[in-house]
Chains A and B, each alone.
Chain A
């Protein structure tokens, strides 16, 4: 059971916009930054969004993040087949003194 809660799956067609939610609590999302990672099958996680809504260089602006209270979301617009992957949210948890992750959301591009 993950500390952060994500839907196990999401889907969309090419060109569509999809959002993936991440729910936490006051000790993690409520008081710290949220991060998002993309994991293609068989590869290491990739740094996708940091500090709630910032994109590292090289990440397309189709990817965006937001946070409100104890929840966060990742939005992907102009969906492409290569976006099919697992997406994880993460945040530092002050009570646990450690990073906590969501269970991951598998995105299918139909």
Chain B
């Protein structure tokens, strides 16, 4: 299957700082990327959907000013957690799909810890 690379895999940051997570499709053009948040032993909660060159569509309850998503190219999307707080600590996963494909490919996830 296609490869999606997510970086970093782990990050620890101080409260009040911003953190950027990258999601890259290595061997296909990702027209759509999804960002999820997963709490321990819980499901993946969709945060937002982004299409290349367009503004992201955020799910209800997700603060768009706090979780900035950029999908400027067909191979890269970024999620920036701004002014991070301990409650933002979580596992974040991206997935990407191309064109009319229905299968989404997942990154390895990023464990964010805010101290």
Co-complex (A, B): no
